[in-house]
Structure 1
């Protein structure tokens, strides 16, 4: 019972924090703390946050960052939140004892992160509404959340000047792909400019 209460409290706190983050974005007052962030470290931190959930369902996490740069300019905390939400969402739909794949690679003008699961995929009507707030998916997920995870992802990626797209289909899994520019839009090339833009 105590464990259940603790788990429920943690879920509630996450929902409240997500709502506050989205409200801050909507108000136009969220400021990104832009710095040169280490990609491997950020991926590892996000993976650690979902490790228990993956272990619970014998789900493996495959990480491929062999084609990624060592670093890029972004808000490390928000990028970690993005990756956590993507991995958490994938863990909700991935079959027992399957593998979730997180890939990062360099693009000509930026960096791309993608997370793939072998779950049921999304039909077209669900795909149309997947980024809407408070729209939890009902097709096979283990846990019903508040429907904010992908909304958070989209908001934070777009704050960086990036884009999000989804490749999916019934019975072929889902891949969420987040693309970030080398530097968030409007950030000067100098390190000082990067710091100033974040203040």
Structure 2
């Protein structure tokens, strides 16, 4: 009996010792594994550096490593999405601002910095960055009501139209502000309105004349052998004017849309000037004007569509003849300059007011004094598009009452 008890005691003691040894070994392994995880976290090492199949902790170490790899993968995906979002925000033409519940800006993209001229504005208030009371009030209304607000303002000093959309976050009290520069849209809208207005004006005058002429003929003038031809001639003139305007509109539309293919070849500037002058000489003589050509004979040839370039010169000469009084002069010239040939059409006419110089190349644009001078108002616009299609530039210099000079450049061949 005593022997049995002794053996049982020894076995129990050995079991206890084994369990104690296993406990301390397991604890030591757990502590070492924990130190490894902490070190990996602090050093930012990849999940692959975590131990795998750790002795005695195989299931736990493999599960931890699998979890770390999963978190690492998700972190990479989040970073990739964040990079995409940052790239989109950086390249947006609309400004984006995020303000916290206290009104301090926590984020703004480069477009917002440009629109509000506020580089490095993070940490400043919305009011400091926006600096426009209507926009600031819209933001405050949005914060107070918790509703989206939209406000548009014109900034005359900067010649700018801005629209601000405010989207509040009712949970955090922060707000998202989207700023859009509508300047180009407003300008295009103005061009559209002006185009419709000018087309209406240009059509109304000849159509009214045609209606009056046809009514006169119908009321008896058709039977008058002297009056009938005169009225029919005037009808033909008005129809020709409408036909010319329609053709020039079609030409302008094709040029603007790139449908006109230029036949670019080597062309002599002197021949282009002489040809345009010959075409317009009879008209100049009828109006009592002197039309001359002043050009050096050794000019380099230009890379151009000769027919289109001659059309530009004819349009410019026609414009000069229209606004120069009898006895005046119109002079065509050309000169070489920095890889280009600069053509010029100078007149001694009435000149152009300084505030109208930037608009003379717009479609249908006419100074008030030109409303009764004939023409469609499309010639200069066509000339501008043809010159720009050649890679050149066109501009005008003028002093009111002393005449104007239209210049344009064409690359040399």
Alignment RMSD? 2.1
Q: Please state how far the C-alpha of 1:161 moved relative to its aligned partner.
A: 0.4
1:160 maps to 2:390:
yes
Higher percent of residues as helix: 2
Structure 1 residue corresponding to 2:339, chosen from 109, 132, 137: 109
Higher strand share: 1
Aligned length: 183
Matched, 1:24 2:260: no
Question: Alignment partner for residue 128 of structure 1, among 344, 352, 358?
Answer: 358
Alignment of 1:173 with 2:395, yes or no, is no
* Contact 1:133/1:147 (<8 A) preserved: yes
Q: Which stretch of structure 1 is more off in the superposition, 86-95 or 22-31?
A: 22-31
2:303 to 73, 82, 92: 73
SS at match of 1:17: helix
Deviations 1:37-91 (A, max 9, x none): 2323322221222222211111011211116516321000110100000000000
**Pair 1:39–1:14, CA change in 2 (3 A):** farther
Cα gap change, 1:141 to 1:45, in 2 (>3 Å): farther
Classify 1:112/1:6 alpha carbon distance in 2 versus 1 (closer, same or farther; 3 Å): farther
Distance 1:159-1:99 versus aligned 2 partners, 3 A rule: same
Distance 1:40 1:11 in 2: 31
Distance 1:43 1:102 in 2: 7
The 8 Å contact of residues 300 and 336 in structure 2, kept in 1 or not, is answered as no
DSSP-derived class of the 2:296 partner:
strand
| Unaligned residue ranges in structure 2 (runs of 5+) | 1-229
SS of residue matched to 2:394: strand
Deviations 1:15-47 (A, max 9, x none): 222211111122222211001123233222212
Gaps of 5+ in 1: 184-199
Q: Higher mean Cα deviation, 137-146 or 99-108?
A: 137-146
